[in-house]
């Protein structure tokens, strides 16, 4: 089962960026743990600070992979284009956020992505990603 984790802008700074909100682990370290925990899955990750590159990656894998986990960072709240890309592809997408966006500024309460996603996982720190991957892992065993 092929699962891609997509991280958007500023998420390359995890571990160094506002650690009181986003924690002090780098995503690279966390991703290694995920790979160990889900050895049966073919897990890959992609990060970009550029909206067009995120779109290109969604188009590239979105008709062949079994699942996509996306944290689009601030583009979540601004990008009609990423929402449209998720609507356009056939691979199911789970939206994740590290912080509880609903407990933060009002502009973070709206997502252009959620409507097109299989589900949304918010506010569990980096564990939000594990819960999303678990959703796809459960689907693979129930097939
Ligand atoms: C975030 C929440 C967004 O509002 C913010 O712009 C981010 C990270 C999160 O994972 O909590 O960059 O997506």
Full DSSP string of 100-121: -GGGS-GGGS--SSGGGSSEEE
Calculate how far, in angstroms, residue 9's C-alpha sits from the geometric centre of ligand 1: 9
What pLDDT does residue 143 have? 55
Q: What is the distance, to the nearest Å, from the Cα of residue 135 to the centroid of all Cα atoms in its chain?
A: 13
Question: Over the stretch 9-31, which tens digit does the pLDDT of each residue have?
Answer: 999 999 999 999 999 899 999 99
- Of the candidates 54, 104, 99, which has an alpha carbon nearest to the alpha carbon of residue 75? 54
* Best residue for ligand 1 mutational test, from 54, 73, 96 (most atoms within 8 Å of Cβ): 73
124-137 residue pLDDT tens: 999 999 999 999 99
Distance in angstroms (rounded) separating the CA atoms of residues 83 and 127: 23
- Please report the beta strands in the chain, taking only residues with DSSP state E, as ranges in sequence order: 2-7, 42-47, 67-71, 93-97, 119-122
Superfamily (CATH H level) for 2-141: Dehydroquinase, class II (3.40.50.9100)
Parse the chain into domains and list their residue ranges: 2-141
- Low-confidence stretches of the chain (pLDDT beneath 70): 143
Phi-psi domain of 110 (left: phi exceeds 0; alpha: psi -120 through 50; beta: other)? beta
Q: Specify whether 22 is catalytic.
A: yes
Q: How much distance in Å is there from the Cα of 77 to the middle of ligand 1? A: 9
pTM: 0.96
Are 5 and 73 in contact by the 8 Å Cβ rule? The answer is no
From 99, 114, 124, mutation site for ligand 1 pocket: most ligand atoms within 8 A of C-beta? 99
């Amino acid at each position: 089962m092929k699962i891609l984790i997509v991280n958007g802008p500023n998420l390359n700074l995890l571990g160094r960026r506002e650690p009181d909100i986003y924690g002090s682990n780098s995503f690279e370290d966390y991703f290694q743990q995920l790979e160990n925990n889900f050895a049966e899955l073919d897990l890959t990750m992609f990060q970009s600070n550029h909206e067009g590159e995120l779109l290109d990656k969604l188009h590239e894998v979105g008709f062949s992979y079994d699942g996509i986990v996306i944290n689009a960072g601030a583009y979540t709240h601004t990008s009609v284009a990423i929402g449209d890309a998720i609507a356009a592809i056939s691979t199911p997408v789970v939206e994740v956020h590290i912080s509880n966006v609903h407990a933060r500024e009002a502009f973070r309460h709206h997502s252009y992505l959620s409507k097109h996603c299989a589900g949304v996982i918010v506010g569990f720190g980096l564990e939000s990603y594990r819960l999303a991957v678990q959703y796809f892992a459960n689907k693979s065993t129930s097939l």
